[in-house]
């Protein structure tokens, strides 16, 4: 049903059973006739296949309206519990000291605590005028949609995801807006200054806007914790950010190094000399570690149709459904670690979105061209009709 083995579904239920039994079917109002465990499986199926509520409810022989109300109410109740167990608790456990002692730091950039990137999902064009809709238009994908920033540690588990932002918002802006997470998450903790994080060469930065928008997360997540100042943190910008760990980003965060300790692949100048062999090798090392977040996006999109298909549900519930999918993906990563195939799936997903956007733009262009041709033909006919009577009268 959801690429989960029966024993894995049982483990999910065991983790949330106490919370569900305490908060489900309580208070006033009509009680659900379905068992809580059954509703959990119905919810997973709805997240997996997405589509319309009519399609999802038909799988369980239920009417769409009560099925939709039941699933939304259940997700609203379950979302905080899943996020706490599979996301927030993981962020608290996965310190640099823990990752180093277990040998699970990034292979090439061990002084980086996590990697951050943004994923895009197509959505319906917002109602209203052009000024209202253009905020959701992504120039890269040529589609209307939503963006979410996700931070992934070396073990392949996400420790933070932001609320959705409009598709036109830059990656660096989202990073800066998530400062409340990044600042404490990047801080060193007590006792981490004695850990050897090996030396590393500095790189350059790109795509800064969305990262800056997520500044409230990055500022807290990147701060060193008490006792972590004794760890050997040799690496890029170690002298400038003595109390912070690094975060891996892509080339879209250019200029963010003035605010955060970020590491990104080297970006060559548009009209400058090509990168040297050492710079290309350095960029490859960074990309090799940062690809973990792309692998995570691939697993997320592969598991849950609600995160990969075109979003047609209520936009107000997007954050709730996305957070739940992230928490469940974290559980799945624990059972089956991320693989290169996940990253390849995400690249194909991005290519499919871009191709879809280009096809839509081409269809609009052809439609406009046909309208212009038709208008030109009508103008020629009217001109000829006006000239013909004049020639007849002259005779």
Q: Are residues 83 and 44 in the same domain?
A: yes
Q: Tell me how far apart the alpha carbons of residues 19 and 42 are, in angstroms, rounded to a whole number.
A: 18
User: At 5, is the pLDDT very low, low, confident or very high (cuts 50, 70, 90)?
Assistant: confident
Q: Are residues 290 and 329 in the same domain?
A: no
- pLDDT at residue 31 in the model: 81
pTM of the model: 0.83
User: At 216, is the pLDDT very low, low, confident or very high (cuts 50, 70, 90)?
Assistant: low
**What's the average model confidence in pLDDT over 361-369?**
94
How far, in Å, are 128, 145, 316 from residue 131 at the CA level? 8, 15, 20
Q: Are residues 56 and 16 in the same domain?
A: yes
Is 377 within the bounds of a domain? no
Give bridge partners of residue 264 from the DSSP assignment. Answer: none
Chain centroid to CA 97: 27
User: At 141, is the pLDDT very low, low, confident or very high (cuts 50, 70, 90)?
Assistant: very high
Is 131 within the bounds of a domain? yes
2-16, 131-145, 352-366: segment of lowest average pLDDT:
2-16
Q: Are residues 89 and 200 in the same domain?
A: no
* Phi-psi sector, 60: left (phi>0), alpha (psi -120 to 50), beta: alpha
- pLDDT of 276 higher than 90: no
Q: Are residues 200 and 326 in the same domain?
A: no
The range of the structural domain enclosing residue 5 comes to: 1-93+320-337
Is 3 within the bounds of a domain? yes
Q: Are residues 80 and 159 in the same domain?
A: no
Q: Are residues 236 and 365 in the same domain?
A: yes
Q: Are residues 133 and 254 in the same domain?
A: yes
Q: Are residues 158 and 75 in the same domain?
A: no
Percent of the chain with pLDDT over 70: 87
Is 309 within the bounds of a domain? no
**What's the average model confidence in pLDDT over 247-270?**
85
Identify the CA nearest to 153 among candidates 3, 295, 269: 295
What's the CA angle centered on 126, arms 252 and 352, to 5 degrees? 50
Q: Answer with the residue of higher pLDDT: 103 or 368.
A: 368
Q: Are residues 58 and 195 in the same domain?
A: no
- pLDDT of 16 higher than 70: yes
Q: What is the pLDDT of residues 81-123, one digit of tens each?
A: 999 999 988 888 888 888 888 888 898 888 889 999 999 999 9
Is 308 within the bounds of a domain? no
Is 136 within the bounds of a domain? yes
43-52, 140-149, 266-275, 340-349: segment of lowest average pLDDT:
266-275
What's the CA angle centered on 341, arms 147 and 173, to 5 degrees? 20
Q: Are residues 294 and 155 in the same domain?
A: yes
Is 205 within the bounds of a domain? yes
5-9, 200-204, 228-232, 299-303: segment of lowest average pLDDT:
200-204
Residues 6+ apart with CB under 8 A from 323: 79, 82, 83, 87, 161
Is 391 within the bounds of a domain? no
How far, in Å, are 12, 191, 373, 394 from residue 381 at the CA level? 71, 85, 12, 21
Q: Tell me how far apart the alpha carbons of residues 218 and 174 are, in angstroms, rounded to a whole number.
A: 10
Q: Are residues 120 and 60 in the same domain?
A: no
- pLDDT of 73 higher than 70: yes
Q: How many domains is the chain built from?
A: 2
């Amino acid at each position: 049903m959801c690429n989960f083995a029966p024993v894995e579904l049982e483990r999910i239920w065991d983790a949330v059973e106490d919370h569900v039994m305490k908060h489900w079917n309580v208070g006033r109002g009509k009680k659900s006739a379905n068992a809580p465990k059954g509703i959990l499986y119905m919810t997973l199926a709805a997240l997996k296949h997405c589509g319309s509520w009519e399609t999802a409810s038909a799988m369980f022989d239920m009417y769409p309206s009560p099925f939709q109300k039941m699933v939304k109410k259940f997700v609203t109740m379950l979302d905080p519990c899943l996020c706490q167990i599979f996301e927030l608790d993981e962020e608290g456990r996965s310190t640099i000291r823990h990752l180093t002692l277990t040998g699970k730091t990034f292979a090439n950039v061990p002084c980086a605590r996590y990697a951050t990137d943004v994923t895009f999902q197509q959505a319906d064009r917002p109602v209203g005028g052009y000024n209202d809709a253009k905020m959701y238009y992504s120039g890269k994908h040529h589609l209307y949609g939503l963006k979410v920033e996700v931070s992934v540690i070396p073990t392949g588990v996400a420790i933070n995801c932001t609320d959705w932002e409009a598709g036109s918002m830059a990656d660096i802006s989202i990073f800066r807006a998530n400062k409340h997470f990044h600042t404490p998450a990047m801080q060193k903790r007590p006792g981490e200054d004695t850990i050897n994080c090996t030396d590393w060469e500095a790189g350059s930065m790109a795509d800064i806007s969305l990262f800056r928008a997520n500044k409230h997360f990055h500022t807290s997540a990147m701060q060193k914790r008490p006792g972590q100042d004794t760890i050997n943190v040799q690496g890029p910008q170690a002298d400038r950010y003595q109390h912070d760990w690094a975060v891996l980003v892509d080339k879209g965060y250019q200029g963010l190094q003035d605010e955060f300790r970020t590491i990104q692949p080297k970006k060559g100048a548009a009209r400058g000399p090509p990168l040297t062999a050492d710079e290309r090798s350095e960029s490859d090392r960074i990309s090799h570690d940062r690809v973990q977040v792309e692998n995570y996006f691939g697993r997320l999109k592969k598991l849950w149709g609600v995160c990969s298909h075109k979003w047609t549900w209520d936009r107000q519930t997007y954050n709730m459904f996305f957070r739940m999918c992230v928490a469940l993906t974290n559980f799945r990563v624990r059972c089956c670690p991320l693989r290169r195939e996940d990253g390849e799936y995400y690249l194909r997903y991005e290519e499919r979105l871009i191709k879809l956007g280009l096809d839509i733009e081409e269809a609009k262009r052809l439609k406009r061209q046909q309208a212009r041709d038709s208008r030109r033909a009508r103008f020629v006919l009217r001109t000829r009709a006006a000239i013909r009577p004049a020639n007849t009268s002259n005779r």
